[in-house]
Amino acid sequence: MIRFRRLALAALIPAAALSLGLPSVLAQTPSPAPAASASPSPAPSASPAPAASASPAPAATPSPAASASPAPTNSPSPAASASPSPAAPAETPGPVQTADPFGLETTLEAKKVVMVKGTANWDSAFDTLVDAFKALNTLLDKQGIKPAGNAMIVYTSTDDTGFTFLAEIPVEQDPKNLSKDMSIGKSPEGKVLKFVHRGSYDNMDNTYEAITNHLDDKRLEAKDTFIEEYLTDPLKTAEDKLVINVFVPLK
């Protein structure tokens, strides 16, 4: 059986901390004292008057300083509210790590499909599969038939050099003028284990290795065939962006 790997993503949640020091303001109580000393001398009342007016001037300067001290006090509150904001987007990759099923038990329902038989070697496997899908899509396009589901590959046998397969596309009506390698039939059905592969077809052997290890750990025995359902269109999607469901029927 071919090898598998389960992909895992890690996200780093940045954290930021901001500390601000609050200045302490000292109120000067002695400033009223000179004003009190000026009152006992009634004759030179004019001369102390400027002195008295000077004393409130320094008293007024602490007042803005005192009002400035709340200003830094208010500034940490936006900074504190800013620290959770990077944490919110950083958590979005979290569900992606566990979203893909790995060994999920499910049941496939048979669908009407148009299929084409083929053989391929491992060196040019993906190109061969793409050519098979192109042939089926060309047939359907000429007859104005839209696919009724995702394209599939059913592997019927494998060895060290290559494999045989059925390329299948679900349809709701029977196409005509089939080539000799094409036919109308039904897709596989029954209980299977579902796995998900993301990435290029060349990395599928890593995925199959992980599946094989999973079956060994669970002491499960798979049938000789397995199915790939292409959630992304292999004719339009970059090979390293493929998303493929892998279904493994059990004995």
Which CATH number does the domain housing residue 107 bear?
3.20.80.10
Residues 117 and 237 in one domain: yes
Residues 61 and 160 in one domain: no
* Boundary residue ending a domain (90, 125, 160): 90
SS3 91: coil
Mean pLDDT of the chain: 74
Q: How many domains does the chain have?
A: 2
Residue at 16 is within a domain:
no
Choice among 73-82, 101-110, 213-222 with the minimum mean pLDDT: 73-82
Number of H helices, E strands in the chain: 10, 8
Per-residue pLDDT at 218 exceeds 60: yes
Of 64, 148, 79, nearest to 114 (Cα)? 148
CA distances from 145 to 82, 148, 169, 220, 242 (A): 54, 9, 11, 40, 24
Full residue range of the structural domain in which residue 234 is found: 102-249
Q: Are 176 and 206 contacting, i.e. CB atoms less than 8 angstroms apart?
A: no
Q: Are 201 and 126 contacting, i.e. CB atoms less than 8 angstroms apart?
A: yes
Residues 58 and 122 in one domain: no
Residues 210 and 145 in one domain: yes
Residues 146 and 73 in one domain: no
pLDDT of residue 239: 85
pLDDT of residue 86: 52
Residues 150 and 67 in one domain: no
* Boundary residue ending a domain (42, 62, 90): 90
Residues 74 and 184 in one domain: no
The model's pTM is 0.61
Reported confidence tier of residue 21, pLDDT bands at 50, 70, 90:
very low
Residue at 190 is within a domain:
yes
Residue at 205 is within a domain:
yes
The total of other beta-carbon atoms located within 10 Å of residue 212's CB is 16
pLDDT of residue 87: 53
Residues 234 and 110 in one domain: yes
Residues 113 and 229 in one domain: yes
CA–CA separation, 117 and 173 (whole Å): 20
Residues 41 and 146 in one domain: no
pLDDT of residue 14: 30
Residues 162 and 217 in one domain: yes
Q: Which residue has the higher pLDDT, 81 or 135?
A: 135
* Boundary residue ending a domain (44, 61, 90): 90
Per-residue pLDDT at 17 exceeds 80: no
Per-residue pLDDT at 13 exceeds 60: no
Total length of the chain:
251
Residues 113 and 232 in one domain: yes
All residues at 6 or more sequence positions from 181 whose CB lies less than 8 Å from its CB, including other chains: 116, 117, 118
